[in-house]
Amino acid sequence: MHESAKGLKPGLNDSDQALLAWACRNLIELVVFVKYVLQSVRNAETFSKDGIVDLHQMIHVARNLQKQELPEQDGEADTVMEFANALKELAGISTDKYLLAGNLAGTVGKAAEYAAIHKICSKYVHPTAFSILDAYEEGIVSVVNWAFFQRGVVYNAEICKDIALYCVAAKPQAV
């Protein structure tokens, strides 16, 4: 729930549902990314370069907005765009699409779980009609909060387990 709205839920427990949903959703995305990175060195490289794709995309949309809102400063925006293009080229990136956990979930055996949990969490993360009108019904709030928390803890354990197992297996080879 937004900070400013906290005072509007008297009678409920003190949990912040949107925050729990955010954490749960982000944790299942991290589960997917960790598994993806551990699948192969190539995947790890793709993931580590993905930040450049994000940066490029942000600069691209900001440049377009600036062209629209401040056309007289067009040159500056183009210079930054050229820098982003050069960075992308240097990294050998040919795609404009950033990695989406949802697209990778299937490759790490998490497609069904990801789709379900992501959808449920998203209903609480965004100002959907459900979250605006119904989510603060006391009965459902407490059950769902507990579920978000439980799921989050399980995902954290999964992330730690996957990385720990990798480290134990990788260490003797790397030394």
Partner 1 sequence: MRWSLIHPLGSERHDRTDGKQQRKKLEEFNKALVASATVIPLVTALPENEPRKKTLLALLQANARECQRLKAGLE
Binding residues for partner 1, rule: CB under 8 A, are 13-20, 22-24, 26-27, 30, 33-34, 37-38, 41, 44-45, 47-48, 116-117, 120, 140, 142-154, 156-157, 159-161, 163-164, 166-168, 170-171, 174-175
**Closer by beta carbon to partner 1, 70 or else 132:** 132
CA distance 41 to 28: 21
CB count in 10 Å sphere of residue 36:
21
**Closer by beta carbon to partner 1, 85 or else 150:** 150
Exposed, middle or buried by CB within 10 Å (0-12, 13-18, 19+), for 41? exposed
CB of 5 to partner 1, least distance (A): 15
CB of 56 to partner 1, least distance (A): 19
**Closer by beta carbon to partner 1, 77 or else 144:** 144
Q: Which has the closest alpha carbon to 15: 147, 145, 151?
A: 145
Helix, strand or coil, per DSSP, at residue 37: helix
**Closer by beta carbon to partner 1, 38 or else 93:** 38
Q: Which has the closest alpha carbon to 121: 21, 9, 43, 6?
A: 21
